């Protein structure tokens, strides 16, 4: 899977930056947006798909709530709202690829946790988490899972490390 890191600086009066994947239609906003989590502060991971981006990438004109399409790792900018509406059938049909990609992203984070605390109990817990992903029905739910695991990753590692350090002390 081709991905690129997208560092964004805040822009505008609100001083915000964000990246949302367009995943379908929405009753209120017409286009459904799944806001993507930062992989590090100010950095998003972007894959093939349809997005709306707000922020400043160094060296190019700012993304001001701009619609973009990424295909084969190449970004097409300045797409208008009508184009996005006309692309909705394709966007909806892309759901399985989105789910696959998000499972891949979550698996990468889970593997990083295991690398940091390589114990059998951690391996079993991570295997269980990976198996549970297959029961998730939508990419929107997987985005929430990715956001949670990224947010909790350091705490999870710390808890496992503390647990296994204490277990070793008991031996």
Residues 63, 68, 71: CA angle, nearest 5 degrees: 135
User: Using CA atoms, how far apart are residues 124 and 19, in angstroms rounded to an integer?
Assistant: 33
Task: Read off the pLDDT of residues 103-133 as tens digits, 9 standing for 90 and up.
Answer: 999 999 999 999 999 999 999 999 999 999 9
3-state helix, strand, coil in the chain (%, to 5): 45, 30, 25
**Tokens 């805040």, located at residue:** 10
Q: What is the pLDDT of residue 116?
A: 96
Beta pairing, strands 30-35 & 63-71: unpaired
Predicted local distance difference test score (pLDDT) of residue 115: 97
pLDDT surpassing 70 at residue 169: no
Q: HSE (CB half, 13 Å, CA atoms) of 91?
A: 22
User: Contact 18/63 with Cβ under 8 angstroms?
Assistant: no
Q: Contact at 8 Å (CB) between 36 and 70? A: no
pTM of the entire predicted model: 0.90
């Amino acid at each position: 899977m081709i991905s690129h890191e997208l560092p964004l600086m805040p822009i505008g009066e609100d001083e915000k930056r964000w990246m949302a994947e367009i995943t379908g239609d929405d009753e209120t906003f017409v286009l459904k947006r799944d806001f993507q989590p930062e992989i590090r502060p100010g950095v998003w991971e972007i894959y093939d798909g349809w997005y709306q981006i707000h922020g400043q990438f160094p060296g190019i004109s700012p993304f001001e709530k701009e619609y973009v399409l990424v295909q084969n790792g190449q970004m097409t900018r300045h797409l208008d709202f009508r184009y996005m509406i006309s692309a909705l059938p394709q966007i909806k049909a892309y759901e399985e690829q989105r789910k696959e990609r998000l499972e891949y992203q979550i698996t990468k984070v889970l593997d990083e946790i295991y690398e940091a605390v390589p114990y059998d109990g951690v391996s079993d817990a991570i295997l269980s988490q990976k198996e549970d992903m297959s029961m998730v029905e939508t990419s929107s739910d997987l985005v929430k899972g990715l956001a949670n695991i990224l947010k909790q990753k350091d705490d999870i590692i710390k808890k496992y490390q503390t647990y296994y350090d204490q277990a070793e002390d008991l031996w």
